[in-house]
Amino acid sequence: MGNARPTHRLVVAGRLALATLACALMVAPPAAARRAQSEAIVSEPRALNGAGNNPDHPEWGEAGSPYVRLAPARYANGISEPVEGPNPRYVSNRIFNSVGVDLFSPRNVSQWGWAWGQFLDHNLELAEGGSEELPISVNQSDPLESFSDTLGIIPFVRDAAAPGTGTGVGDPRQQVNTVPSYIDGYALYGGAESRLEWLRTGPDDGNPEEAGASLMLPGGYLPTASARGDVAAAPKMTEEGALTPEAAVVGGDVRTNENASLDAVTTLFAREHNRIVSQLPESLTAEQKFQIARRVVGAEIQYITYNAFLPAMGVQLPRYPGYNPTVDPEISAEFATVGYRAHSMVDGEEEIVVPTGTYSAEQQQALRALGVRIEPVTVGRHHGELLFITQSAAFFNPALVPGVGLGTMLTGLSQTPNYKNDEQIDNALRSVLFEVPGSNERTPAQCFEQPQLEGCFSGIVDLGAIDIQRGRDHGIPSYAQLREALGLGVPSSFDQLTGDETEELPLGRTINSPSILNFTSFMDRKGHVTSPEDPGDRAVSATRVSTVSARLKAIYGSISNLDAFVGMVSEPEVHDSELGALQYAIWRRQFEALRDGDRFFYANDPTLAAIKKAYHITYKHTLAQLLTLDAEVPKGEVPGNVFFQRAPKLH
């Protein structure tokens, strides 16, 4: 009963606004009526930083707020010191190590699963970085270490403590989310007026009122930092590898260059923003057009997330009850640090099939220079070309998107299934090799291009090991504690956790025997024996010499010692889902809160209906439809639901 009254006020307010608008339309000339209508529609746009969404709690979801916690923080001293545990790289070599063998989604989820998941993540959370180093040591003599690391460490820096936290007992260290906790298109628009003004067409002179309605898209692609001439004045972006500041593309989120698929999805919605602007009447001001387009794009991202992405991942939410002002939508530390780290799903490469002749000889040469491997392929009776784009080539390489083409890049995501969401992580993410300059002042770009140069040192970036370390950095509860906090039972043994038949290592083998990772059999999604080399019957499950539970027991000894991330990815999937029970519970709780605690959620926003009535513009688009509208993908070229893989077609 206490929740009904504020929701009722919102609905009444929406009806009154529409009634007032209707009266204005009856007495005003058409152009003036359209202006009045648009002013009513955009009378309250979302704040870029998320503030004021909830009038009773205007700080909820605002950028710069600490993550909320689902369970008490777990620090060694109760304040800020990370708990000790097995070396994260040691764990990674024994649990996450796929030894180059790929298992795929048993439900045939496409690579749009991980691509959309990352795009969404970059709309929701980014912890504030700190300066305290906590590197992960790499033991080159480890019998299960197959990569060379001349640095001897995996670099790791702790995230900053929220102001006033971690100062004493009873006040544990917290971390800050620098991004608004709402699905609102942050990846496109950012959280500050200065960044948004640079991204919009029109002058970048500090006067937002002169900004254009459209987003700046030279040639239909995201602008590079040099697009306005002065690279130093462009919004700051994260740059790694061989990427130079002037070549980095600029988006609302600083991580846009992280990989080519993320860049491509961001570009798609920037184009969608501009398409919506082009459908609006000239009688509207640039600001009115911009706010209408931003409103619709934000709703489209929500609509796809709740009606396609989450169902594809097998996450079922209760029916939407309407906006609830008592629900805090803020991102939890457990979601950001454990639950949403689905690195296991990420394929080490994207494979794209295109008709022969899609690219000229000159274009093919340019693609090869960008790291793309091109080989002939036959699909049915038709000949084509297969583009292999490894994750190492896609990292911080924004030139790939215009080089391959937006439509082709995004179509490719639907042609190959996701990796299975399990404990295995592809070596492209678990053992990414990078080069760093040494004592003779080599530049990172020189070492990236010619790692054999004297003075270049090789290192490893292991996202699985970093996930473990980040959990300890953030004071995340143990696996058992987190399950208990979410109302789940705590397994009494490791084989109960994983569903394995035994938690004992094979006779004569130890946790340091490389052979414990050997595979002995593979099954496809129909339960038939297959092999990882057979693309027609992709392996979705496998048997190894040792079980996961046996390796977990040998490493951790007791369930009570188990890191939450490691335990979570080791659980079997919930029926008809890509997620295990703990991950499912974390996702369900967070996505319910993001929906029910957002006053501007698409199903609660009467302005979207007003926009449709006035301008015939709707937010109800599938990704397949957006690919046709904004990326020149012919209708029917991709499945109606791109989140499920369909083999490529050649005509």
Q: Which of 513, 528, 546 is the last residue of a domain?
A: 546
Pair 269, 300: CB distance under 8 Å: yes
In-domain check, residue 121: no
pLDDT digits (tens, 9 = 90+) for 538-560: 899 999 999 999 999 999 999 99
519-524 and 432-437 strand pairing: unpaired
Q: How many angstroms separate the most distant Cα atoms in the chain?
A: 89
Q: Is residue 431 domain-resident? A: no
Q: CA-to-CA distance for 569 and 544, rounded, in angstroms?
A: 17
Task: Report CA 210 to chain centroid distance, whole Å.
Answer: 33
Domain final residue pick, 546, 573, 597 = 546
Q: Is residue 132 part of a domain?
A: no
Contact (Cβ atoms closer than 8 angstroms) between residue 121 and residue 340: yes
Domain assignment of residue 209, yes or no: no
Q: What is the pLDDT of residue 432?
A: 77
**Of 524, 546, 568, at which residue does a domain stop?**
546
Q: 320-351: per-residue pLDDT in tens?
A: 999 999 999 999 999 999 999 999 999 888 89
How far, CA to CA in Å, does 133 sit from each of 34, 149, 470?
57, 18, 12
Residue 521: inside a domain, yes or no?
yes
pLDDT in tens, 167-216: 988 899 999 999 999 999 999 999 999 999 999 999 998 888 899 999 99
Q: Work out how many domains the chain is built from and give that number.
A: 2
Contact present, 141 and 90 (Cβ < 8 Å): no
Write the CB contacts of 626 (distance below 8 Å, at least 6 apart in sequence): 268, 269, 272, 300
Domain hosting residue 523, numbered range: 504-546
603 to each of 49, 476, 580, 606, how far by Cα in Å? Answer: 21, 33, 29, 8
Q: Give this prediction's pTM.
A: 0.91
In three-state form (DSSP H/G/I as H, E/B as E, the rest C), the secondary structure along 1-61 is CCCHHHHHHHHHHHHHHHHHHHHHHHHCCHHHHHHHHHHHHCCCCCCCCCCCCCCCCCCCC
In a domain, 576, yes or no: no
Candidates 328, 425, 400, 365; CA nearest to 91 is 425
In a domain, 318, yes or no: no
The pLDDT tens digits of the residues spanning 356-377 come to 999 999 999 999 999 999 999 9
pLDDT of residue 450 exceeding 70, the answer is no
